[in-house]
Amino acid sequence: MSGTLDVVLRLVAVLVAFLVLPLVVGQTEHKVMAHMQGRLGPMYAGGFHGWAQLVADGVKFAQKEDVVPAGADRRVFQLAPAVSLLPYLLVLIAIPVGPNGLVGQAIDAGLFFVLAVMGVGVLGSIMAGWASANKFSLLGGLRTAAQLMAYELPMLLAAGSVAMAAGTISLPGIVQAFHWWWIPWQLIGGLVFFTAGLAELQRPPFDMPVADSEIIFGAYTEYTGLRFALFLLAEYAGIVVLCALTTVLFLGGWHGPLSGSFGWLWTLVKTALLAFVVIWLRVTYPRLREDQLQKLAWTVLIPLGLAQIALTGIVKVVIS
Amino acid sequence: MSPVPGHGLAKGLAVTLRTMTRRSVTHQYPDAAPQLPPRSRGVIGLFEENCTVCMLCARECPDWCIYIDSHKETVPPAAPGGRERSRNVLDRFAIDFSLCMYCGICIEVCPFDALFWSPEFEYAETDIRELTHERDKLREWMWTVPTPPALDPGAEEPKEIAAARKTAEKLAAAQETAAQEGTAQETEPREGDA
Amino acid sequence: MTLAAAHPGFMSPSGVEIAFALVGIATLGAALITVTTRQLVHAALWLVVALGGLAIEYLLLTAEFIAWVQVLIYVGSVVVLLLFGLMLTKAPIGRSPDADSGNGWVALTVAVAAAATLVWVVVDAFRSTWIDLGGAAQGSTKVTGAVLFRHWVLPFEALSVLLLAALVGAIVLSRRGAPARRAASAALGALSGRGASSGPGAMSERAAGSERAAVSKRKTGES
């Protein structure tokens, strides 16, 4: 009975994190982006510095009419937001927060699980792009697919490098094996992983699939109300997942001073810092062009990823 | 080209980070009143007493948003036996602020200083017809017209003040001479008395 | 492989076995819809369901590593590539009248023959052998890795050489002659929403459907 209770408790905790953390990131983005542009951002909702802005947004989205275009493929259109959101919930289950089993569910091949399921999430955007019966949506879907194919490989290479270094592909195992000198050792891999992850999430400066000045809102053009909100939520959940994964793989997860009792806090702090970087990059850089995006993936990130694997291999052989 | 690759990228990041640490430029308008410059063009006030219904403002207005109605009145002669004078009496003076483009030409052309800029700008309405401000409302805006900025210390005296001063001085001088003459006349008979 | 002499038999299935059978039926159904539906993109999406079902079957057989690789490679990449290709052809919403190739019976024969061969091989190889999944996981990452790189290194490397050959072949095909290169740039142009051809006629066409133009151009390039 206590086993069942334990599982239920863990799942509830993951669900709560899944519902709260993306909103926190979204609110932070509102405020940080505003201040980086010399503005104040939301100030009214909820009273104190607009803390409830996203709650208000959610209420607004819930009130909107749920429109399905007449020419759209109805079922695929309606299914797409769920397909794009749910994988991130599943991924959160496998991410270790602290030592001694502070994880939703330890998975033996955790690294592969996480990367595989994250790749599925992009399928939602492609479905949305095709099913909307809108040429801009279709272009967005095409770009999403092209971007996924270009960036999945460097991401896998960088993750593979860490797995080689740790000698395991279980996420808690990787963090367990972490030493501080891994950070310089895996630096290139970390950068490649983070960049490729940003591209896979379609975050600026890699947001060509939704480029609003070119193709309106890409695959999400025809969406309204709650379904649109689910896509937005998926984007922010994706940020949380990507930052948590980078933390776990490249920044040593719960390692840090006083990691015995405050390990989970270290993971959260590192994740939050990375989320800040994601927002910072969005504010700072303009969107790349589609061909620049592909060029960056194939001519820069993949060679760098391969070089990182070679480096990891050499060091691994030397120290063993 | 920058010497270090990625130099420009880092510079961009630095710019955004620096901006974040600085105070934002947002004016929290409804909560905090805006600091308007002294010659802000908010609304036009009418100083009715100065208006002679010369119609210059209405004629010069580029979008014809000033409506003036008047009639002539005959004023009885000031002195008995004099000629009757006719005088323009203002019946209606209205500015339609839904048409007004705030060019300020009416204020410039008014030869009698009957129109003034006021910095008040919060007169939005839900009905466009309400934006036609009639004479009493325009008169009310006069109370919000700020005092004109002080002249430079070495500036020439304003004409009207100069004229008023001259008149006052003349009057004073006349009174003085009159007083002197008066005393002289008073002393003379006394001397004569003596 | 652990051989257990006294296996429990098929008459009292455990929960895992029931789940295995149910998921198997669902996977088979999805696979059937994949090959019979007239809606092209739906076929690709049903393929996702079929491949995902297979991954679940692997999971139920405790082959965790294989399961996630299945999802990563097939669902995450191959199907995305497939959808990408379908979108380039501007697959219509609803039925495609020309989706039937006309040799359905041949395909059915081949499929049934292949299935029969595979089933017969598996049944003949194992007969009534009982593999206990309760003990040390046979499909865990560690075991898979050890087996792959100790006993099956040669086939593994041979496969990678095969893939390399395919890769080189693809590059050679795509670099052959100027028309092919033009087609490639046209496809890229469709991707970035710009007409790749710079003639004045392309301007009117690009709003209507640049991807269709790109595909037709590629077809002429190949012929």
Give domain C10-95's CATH architecture: Up-down Bundle (1.20)
Annotated binding-site residue? B106: yes
> Which chain B residues touch A283 with a CB distance below 8 Å?
16
Annotated binding-site residue? B57: yes
* Average pLDDT value over all residues in chain A: 85
The first and second tokens of residue C165, run together, are: 């050959």
Q: How far apart are CA B18 and CA B38, in angstroms?
A: 33
**% of chain A beyond a pLDDT of 70:** 98
Instruction: List the single residue in A39, A43, A284 with the smallest CB-CB distance to B16.
Output: A284
Q: Does A206 touch chain C (CB under 8 A)?
A: no
CA distances from C21 to A66, A108, C18, C52 (A): 38, 24, 5, 15
Q: Does A32 touch chain B (CB under 8 A)?
A: yes
Neighbours of chain A (3+ CB pairs under 8 A): B, C
Report the topology of domain B30-142.
Answer: Alpha-Beta Plaits (3.30.70)
Asked, as a colleague might, if the bond just before A209 is cis with ω within 30 of 0, I would say: no
Q: How many CB pairs under 8 A join A and B?
A: 33
Three-class SS of residue B42? coil
> Which chain A residues touch B25 with a CB distance below 8 Å?
38-39
* Domain residue ranges in chain A: 67-319
> Which chain B residues touch A30 with a CB distance below 8 Å?
none
CB contact under 8 A, A120 and C91: no
The pLDDT profile of chain A, 320 residues, written as one tens digit per residue, is: 577 888 888 888 888 888 888 888 888 888 888 888 888 888 888 878 888 888 888 888 889 888 888 888 888 888 888 888 888 888 888 888 877 666 767 777 788 888 888 888 888 888 888 888 888 888 888 888 888 888 888 988 898 888 888 888 888 888 888 887 888 888 888 889 999 988 888 888 888 888 888 888 888 888 888 888 888 888 898 899 899 889 888 887 777 777 667 777 888 888 889 999 999 998 888 888 888 888 888 888 889 999 998 988 888 888 87
∠ CA A93-A98-A101 to the nearest 5 degrees?
65
Neighbours of chain C (3+ CB pairs under 8 A): A
Q: Which amino acid is at B60?
A: E
Q: How far apart are CA C37 and CA B17, in angstroms?
A: 54
A300 in Cβ contact with A293 (< 8 Å)? no
> Which chain A residues touch B26 with a CB distance below 8 Å?
38-40
Q: Does A283 touch chain B (CB under 8 A)?
A: yes
* Domain residue ranges in chain B: 30-142
- Pick among A28, A29, A36 to test the B interface (most B CBs inside 10 A): A36
CA-based nearest residue in chain C for residue A139 = C191
**pLDDT tens-digit map of B104-122:** 999 999 998 889 999 888 8
Q: How far apart are CA C133 and CA C68, in angstroms?
A: 18
Q: Is it the case that chain C and chain A have 3 or more CB pairs lying under 8 Å apart? A: yes
**pLDDT given at position B96:** 92
Q: Among residues 203-242 of chain A, which lie with CB inside 8 Å of chain B?
A: none
The rounded Cα C216 to chain-centroid distance in angstroms is: 26
- Asked casually if ipTM beats, i.e. exceeds, 0.90, the reply is no
Q: How far apart are CA C210 and CA C218, in angstroms?
A: 12
The pLDDT profile of chain C, 223 residues, written as one tens digit per residue, is: 444 445 555 556 677 778 888 888 999 999 888 888 878 888 888 888 899 899 888 888 877 788 888 888 888 788 888 888 888 876 677 677 776 777 878 888 998 999 999 999 988 888 777 776 666 666 677 777 888 888 888 998 999 999 999 989 988 888 876 555 555 555 555 555 544 344 343 344 444 444 444 444 444 444 3
